[in-house]
Structure 1
């Protein structure tokens, strides 16, 4: 007998300004789905303009779970996202709908798909001991020690990659187990869903860069500077918090404080956003098996909708 099909779920991944939200809303118009945000910036309340958060009218028509759930003073981890997302997916499935997870935080997608390895926290004393050994013997010698304890990890690390060698040795000595073994266990934590992964990638990065520039200009016109000023008045914030390290917010804060010239805010914000998009594209290209679509194609929403219809019909 064939095993019963797992409940369906859809992932929509892509870099900033690739049109993910528009695609997700188009699916919501056509299919019985509910949306879950996969965005490490949109989790913060009162951070609306700089996160490109859908406006109130849009959210009223197309509700997104995991938006506006914590204060900008708090932190939100990939582990917490995974737990929250799985709860939301289960609730949506039990309501006879299909969860659609949409966003650009690739670490969150990876955590959802593969789980999080149960790795120990850093041990300062042990790290100091490893560093002392390396100072006396050299990192190639430490690499040889790792090869005896964890040959799989050693094989993918360069003999002078001090940071990763230190961490791998630290884990071996703290747990008595190879890091590769612990990571392999986390890979078995795939969620119990029949997943359709959709990746939105640009056929021309220059066009995406133009979109990013236009959107940042729109954020500035919409009052990003005032938003950051109000956030600083309302909350006890610093540049060390994850919320204020978000692209656009850090640069605006620095311009307000005079750390950078105000006339450089636009260029620095656009540059940082383009760098973010580059990292997102690299993650999506190298770390996920997704059906990819050109996010610049005028027929994008129709193409994704047709692909989704075939998936849900099977």
Structure 2
């Protein structure tokens, strides 16, 4: 989105949308809440981890109080046992738009997943529906055989795709295989088809929060301490008890692996907490780099104190 590209039109079905992006713990949820209350809008999640159930605390989802103040959508609505894609998210946004929700309530999309914002502003290629039996079979094979083995399978049937993927990238390998089997067409050909913007670019507002690095690190560390106090360990116990595949996105949420290792006696809780904080800092840096390189001049860049208010979310 370094200069938004689309298929020749800026007119999408969702008018007067506000997009608020920023790294984790930058205060974007607080700003979204402030704008939604001022403008009578609704908040729509644009963070790929906050879509999953169970992990309310560890993914810094809005609090119960915030949920009562403004209507929120697409938070915690996906089972951790599922792999949820950008395409799935965009289809869920389309369902909300088709319901008429955004006609009277301007939507505020807030999150840290750059690909979700790109999908809103540029659209994405249509992908074929994958029959349940095909999806389950390939995911079972991923669990049983591992990503490197399936990468070799992909290399034998669609080498152009396989050469673009790491042999350890199980999710993308499986996605390419299931698309090929379901449609008889390479995922590269599906991706080459141009999409259409979901939002009306002429009436949209684009905001990206760029906090000072030292301030952001401080917020990250303080927030993770609050997560522990608020029940993060209970969430890790619950999701671990589900015995779902370690390759699924929800299991890669920062804090799950670290705290699970501490509960198993593989490291101290102090070490687990410090590792999770370090991982969060690294993730926030990758987010900031992506936004800086991918977002164009249409994005208003503001400091990290924008929209802050006592008790507001730090997402």
TM-score of the aligned structures, taking structure 2 as reference length: 0.71
In structure 2, the CA distance between the partners of 1:27 and 1:73, relative to structure 1 (3 Å rule), is same
Cα offset for 1:104? 0.9
Which of 266, 273, 276 is the matching residue for 1:269? Answer: 276
Name the one with the larger helix percent. 1
In structure 2, the CA distance between the partners of 1:130 and 1:47, relative to structure 1 (3 Å rule), is closer
Distance 2:223 2:281 in 1: 12
User: Whose RCO is larger (CA < 8 A, sep 6+)?
Assistant: 2
Q: Conserved in 2, the CA contact under 8 Å of 1:34 and 1:92? A: no
Cα offset for 1:176? 9.5
Once the two structures are superposed, residues 205-225 of structure 1 have per-residue CA deviations (whole angstroms, 9 ceiling, x without a partner) of 121111111111111122211
In structure 2, the CA distance between the partners of 1:292 and 1:254, relative to structure 1 (3 Å rule), is farther
Distance 2:26 2:119 in 1: 22
In structure 2, the CA distance between the partners of 1:190 and 1:227, relative to structure 1 (3 Å rule), is same
Q: Conserved in 1, the CA contact under 8 Å of 2:209 and 2:303? A: yes
Distance 1:78 1:5 in 2: 18
TM-score of the aligned structures, taking structure 1 as reference length: 0.71
How many pairs were matched up? 264
In structure 2, the CA distance between the partners of 1:90 and 1:272, relative to structure 1 (3 Å rule), is same
RMSD: 3.6
Q: Partner residue of 1:195?
A: 204
Distance 2:239 2:282 in 1: 25
For residues 220-239 of structure 1, the aligned pairs below 5 Å read: 220-233=228-241, 235-239=242-246
Once the two structures are superposed, residues 244-301 of structure 1 have per-residue CA deviations (whole angstroms, 9 ceiling, x without a partner) of 111112211222223444331111101111111112112211222343333333xx23
Once the two structures are superposed, residues 3-22 of structure 1 have per-residue CA deviations (whole angstroms, 9 ceiling, x without a partner) of 99972111111100111111
Cα offset for 1:192? 4.5
Distance 1:244 1:178 in 2: 25
Which of 81, 86, 99 is the matching residue for 1:73? Answer: 81
Q: Conserved in 2, the CA contact under 8 Å of 1:82 and 1:112? A: yes
Q: Conserved in 2, the CA contact under 8 Å of 1:21 and 1:102? A: yes
